[in-house]
Chain A
Amino acid sequence: MTVAGDDEVWLDEEAGPLIRPYTVSAGRTHPTVKLDLVSLVIAIAQPPRGMDPEHHKVLGLCRNPISVAEVAAHMRLPVAVTKILLADLVECEAMAMRAPSTTSGATDRVLLEKLLDGLQGI
């Protein structure tokens, strides 16, 4: 078998598609902290040395509470990749997060009343 032949087989179907955005997350595809689209995050400290420029950029976006979806949109990265970067920052305590509640709030009368009141003024 030639070397060129080897080159052809290592990228077979079993390897799955190669997706460039995951290079940002060093090939990782799952975040270490559970986050969803509307989880809120906020920068609370400087990151430790050795973090990537993307981590610093993410922290810069999070001076005020901001949702995962918004961070992804501003970073122009898929949500899954953004979550991995955010989880890194939560893990090293550079960022605090508020996980979404486990219930939707659809049966929370107090919350719904507040929403209705808030939407009256718009």
Chain B
Amino acid sequence: MAYKESDLFPTQVKILIAGGFGVGKTTFVGAASEIEPLNTEELITAASVGVDSLSGIEDKSTTTVALDFGRITIEQHEIVLYLFGTPGQERFWFMWDELSAGALGAIVLADTRRLQACFEAVDFFENRGIEFLVAVNEFDGAFHYEPEEVRAALELDPRVPIVMCDARDTRSATSTLRSLIRHLLAAVPAQSA
């Protein structure tokens, strides 16, 4: 190869923004991203998944899963951070292994009016060993719960941070990302420091 990869490219990292339908994932990605959120889609064969919720979808059918994503460029360190909002079609993004493979971590957005909507995302990251935090998106008119009440309702491990955020606000979204990075740093074994 006549060129060095590191001369041509920055380091790329990926964080997932998950949570139930309508919880503000796209809004969060848009608030944090330096570009207008982009949208792409993937074709997924549903054959390998035997979940009852796929009723109505024929075996071996192919479906389309859309996702929104944004980008934050950290020029001084030559890092590009990609934020992927997990697709709105709840049951399908779990089939997209590539989305979670190699992810630095995840932010699970929660709406206190419908906490159960983020159970699946919490389970998914717990099972995969992907570090995450729960960010309560404080919707206007939603009853305010204390973080520990949210923790109890979600049966969250005491290690998992819970933060409050406003997904519409760039500073709040960025602050939530920093909280996730701090959580990841705290989880790094001391010997690799």
Question: Do A and B share a complex?
Answer: yes
Residues of A within 8 A of B (CB): 13, 16-17, 19, 21, 36-40, 42, 44, 65, 67, 69-70, 72-74, 78-80, 96, 98, 100-109, 111-120, 122
Residue of B nearest to A41 (CB): B9
- A73 near B38 with CB under 8 A, answer yes
A98-B5, A109-B185, A122-B72 are known; give 5 further A-B pairs, CB within 8 A: A69-B40, A73-B40, A100-B12, A116-B178, A122-B170
How far is the CB of B161 from the nearest CB of chain A, in Å? Answer: 14
Residue of A nearest to B37 (CB): A73
The 5 closest A-B pairs by CB, nearest first: A118-B74, A73-B38, A114-B77, A98-B9, A72-B40
- Secondary structure at the B interface, as helix, strand, loop or mixed, is mixed
Which residues of chain A are within 8 angstroms of B104 by Cβ–Cβ distance? 104-106, 115
- From A37, A44, A79, give the contact of B3 (CB < 8 A): A44
- From A13, A21, A42, give the contact of B43 (CB < 8 A): A21
- From B41, B60, B74, B82, give the contact of A67 (CB < 8 A): B82
Known: A100-B102, A106-B184, A115-B81. A80 touches B43 (CB 8 A): yes
How far is the CB of A58 from the nearest CB of chain B, in Å? Answer: 14
Which residues of chain B are within 8 angstroms of A120 by Cβ–Cβ distance? 178
Binary per-residue interface labels of chain B (44-73) against chain A in the complex, 1 for a CB within 8 Å, 0 otherwise: 000000000000000011101000010110
**17 A-B contacts (beta carbon < 8 Å):** A19-B43, A37-B82, A42-B8, A67-B12, A78-B41, A78-B43, A79-B42, A96-B3, A98-B12, A105-B13, A106-B131, A106-B184, A106-B187, A109-B192, A114-B74, A118-B72, A122-B170
- From A111, A119, A122, give the contact of B11 (CB < 8 A): A111
- B174 near A122 with CB under 8 A, answer yes
How far is the CB of B169 from the nearest CB of chain A, in Å? Answer: 12
Chain B CB count within 10 A is highest, among A102, A111, A112, A117, for A112
